[in-house]
Amino acid sequence: MVQEQLVQLPIASGPIVAGAFFVETDAVDGDRLLLVEEEAHHVRVRRYREGDMIDVIDGEGCAYRVRIDGMTGKRVEAQIVERHLEWGESPVCLHLAAAVPKGSRFDLVIEKGTEVGVASIFPVLTERGVARPAGDSRRVDRWHRLAREAAKQCGRSRVPRLAEPMALPIVADALARQCPRLLVASAAGAMPLAEALSGENGPIGLFIGPEGGFESAEYAALEARGARAFTWGERVLRAETAAIVLSTLVLDTVARRIVRIPKEA
């Protein structure tokens, strides 16, 4: 399911720092929340005690500053002191659709894509990439864990939506319905990124191909759905590097237009 466009909402004062803990949404009740099992264990490992303040995220857009007031067994109870909505989230809704490379290199895309602020990640099956990741269900479970840990580490309040690995046409159709702008990375012979980003505002779908790029038929399928090919320069990037770097460039370029950040900033 494709995530709706994110909106930056007003937040309370005081930053949520990196190294937050994770709470399930159903473990938040009014002005109290409960950490259990692994998260409660992490609280103990980091030597927090009753009365200490910690930061907690729910992965759905809420971040909390809480005071620990009970630690028993595999449970940590806490009083909510501050609530922050959409803390650490970009004003830009970017859906990253990246080809799955061989081995464990997609782990880096999940981790760093989460850190830079993508809204969702679609592992794409392509002609030149892997046909189907080995140990598919186990790998997807690991990707979910990596995304959650990365969100906790970087201090954002949302964990990116992570889709099952799917063929390129299926992902392209899903994002074409959701995104006014679709972009596809091309090594050369395409328009600059700033030009490709012109036009209607709204969610953006970014397609990153495998080593060697998309096949010509795959490019044609994306262009038929309105995708704009763009280039980033003369250098050839590995697939996972391109996914991280180009996501960052897109997020930064569009965010600067929204909030009018000076170029020298």
pLDDT tens digits for 233-246? Answer: 888 889 999 999 99
* Euclidean distance between CA atoms 196 and 115, whole angstroms: 24
**Which region among 72-81, 112-121, 135-144, 178-187 has the lowest average model confidence (pLDDT)?**
135-144
For 257, list phi and psi in degrees, rounded to 5.
Answer: -70, -40
Domains 21-85 and 94-259 agree in fold: no
Can you spell out the DSSP letters for 91-152?
A: SS-EEEEEE--STTTHHHHHHHHHHHT-SEEEEEE-SSS-SS-TTHHHHHHHHHHHHHHHHH
Residue 92 pLDDT > 90: yes
% of the chain beyond a pLDDT of 90: 74
What is the reported pLDDT for 135? 57
Query: Could you tell me the pLDDT band of residue 23, with boundaries at 50, 70 and 90?
Result: very high
Going by C-alpha positions, the residue among 197, 237, 245 that lies closest to residue 92 is 197
Is the model's pLDDT at 201 over the cut of 90? no
Using alpha carbons, select from 132, 128, 124, 79 the residue that is nearest to residue 99: 124
pTM: 0.87
Residue that has been written with the tokens 């806490």 in this structure: 78
Q: What's the CATH number for 94-259?
A: 3.40.1280.10
Amino acid at the residue 73? G
Residue 8 has pLDDT above 50, yes or no: no
Give me the chain's average pLDDT, please.
88
Give the separation between CA 198 and CA 189, rounded to whole angstroms: 18
pLDDT for the residue numbered 257: 84
Q: Where are the domains of the chain?
A: 21-85, 94-259
Say yes or no to pLDDT of 254 above 50.
yes
| pLDDT on residue 19 | 81
Q: Are 128 and 211 in contact (CB under 8 A)?
A: yes
> For residue 28, what are the β-bridge partners?
33
- SS3 for 242? helix
Closest CA to 116 of 209, 252, 233, 18: 252
User: Apex CA 48: angle with CA 46 and CA 53, to 5°?
Assistant: 120
Q: How confident is the model at residue 234, as a pLDDT?
A: 80
Instruction: Report DSSP state, residue 241.
Output: H
Domain 21-85 fold is Ribosomal Protein L25; Chain P (2.40.240)
